[in-house]
Amino acid sequence: MDTLWYFAYGSNLSVEKFTHSRGIVPLAAVVAHIPGWQISMSIPGLPYSEPAFASIEAMNATSLKEKQPDVQGVAYQITRAQYAKIIASEGGDIAYAQARLLAQVLNEADEDAVGGKTFHVLTLTNAMFKAFPGRPSFRYMDLVLSGAKTVAITPRYLHHLQTIPTYIQGTSARRKTGAFLFLLIWSPVMQLIEITVQYTVDLERGGVVPSWVKTFVRFLVSFMWYSHEFHAFFWGRGDGLDEHSDLELMDLQSNVCHSSDSRRMPWGG
Does 7 count as an annotated binding residue?
Answer: yes
Does 42 count as an annotated binding residue?
Answer: no
Select from 119, 79, 117, 115 the least CA-distant residue to 101. Answer: 119
Does 8 count as an annotated binding residue?
Answer: yes
CB 6 within 8 A of CB 14: no
In degrees and rounded to multiples of 5, residue 223 shows phi and psi of -65, -40
Distance CA 190, CA 78 (A): 30
Distance CA 195, CA 75 (A): 29
Distance CA 150, CA 210 (A): 36
Q: Please confirm, yes or no, whether 50 is among the known catalytic residues.
A: no
Does 140 count as an annotated binding residue?
Answer: yes
Q: Cα dist. 18→86, 96, 241, 269 in Å?
A: 10, 18, 30, 12
Termini Cα distance of the chain: 28
Does 96 count as an annotated binding residue?
Answer: no
CB 3 within 8 A of CB 79: yes
Q: Which residues contact 9 (CB under 8 A, 6 or more apart)?
A: 39, 54, 56, 71, 72, 73, 123
Calculate ∠ Cα 132-137-143, nearest 5°. 125
Question: Counting Cβ atoms within 10 Å, is residue 103 exposed (0-12), middle (13-18) or buried (19+)?
Answer: buried
Q: Which of 90, 111, 194, 243 is catalytic?
A: 90
Does 254 count as an annotated binding residue?
Answer: no
Strand residue runs (E) in the chain = 3-8, 28-34, 37-46, 50-58, 71-79, 96-105, 118-126
Binding residues for substrate are 6-11, 140
Query: What is the set of active-site residues?
Result: 90
Binding residues are 6-11, 140
